[in-house]
Structure 1
């Protein structure tokens, strides 16, 4: 499973894969980037940590949602 981070930048927001030197996606707003992220990761399994503007983690999402280990029974 790939790990990504959504973080604020000087120009808006970016989606960056852990260890990558460049952003995979960029957008002016966090909401716009969240919509783009779902389409970008379609067909792939990934964990996305969504940060607040101050850099702290707001939430973590797993794509697709059915791959989220916290939702499994047992």
Structure 2
């Protein structure tokens, strides 16, 4: 059931109204995408705070995803890998540096393609 201004998770109760409303909007979108409720709450709250603070920008997303030869770093919307490594661990340290240098956001996926973690302020 979608959240509303009158019916939302208790963990959003103490947020300022404008941040809570933004978190509800973001959370509903994440739930529609299939995120689990707990994960959606955490992501929505974080994004709502950043949005209200004016710190969230249209940063480019870079994804760490499985690749035929191991793991790849790929820019959102691209089909070509920026770099490929045998293991996820080997790729992550290089990917974090690359994304930091390019002022992006890093989205780390699991082997099955689902999102494991999103790192902001890269």
TM range (shorter): 0.7 to 0.9
> What is the deviation of 1:42?
3.6
* Number of aligned residues: 64
Q: Which runs of 5+ in 1 are unaligned?
A: 65-74
TM-score by length of 1: 0.76
Structure 1 segments, 4+ long, off by >6 Å, are: none
Q: Is the CA contact 1:44–1:63 (under 8 Å) kept in the aligned structure 2?
A: no
Query: In structure 1, the residue corresponding to 2:120 is in which secondary structure?
Result: strand
Structure whose CA Rg is larger: 2
**Richer in helix (by share):** 2
Root-mean-square deviation (Å): 1.3
Instruction: Tell me the CA shift for residue 9 of structure 1.
Output: 1.4
Specify every segment of 5 or more residues in structure 2 that has no aligned partner in the other structure, as ranges: 1-58
The structure with the greater share of residues assigned to strand is 1
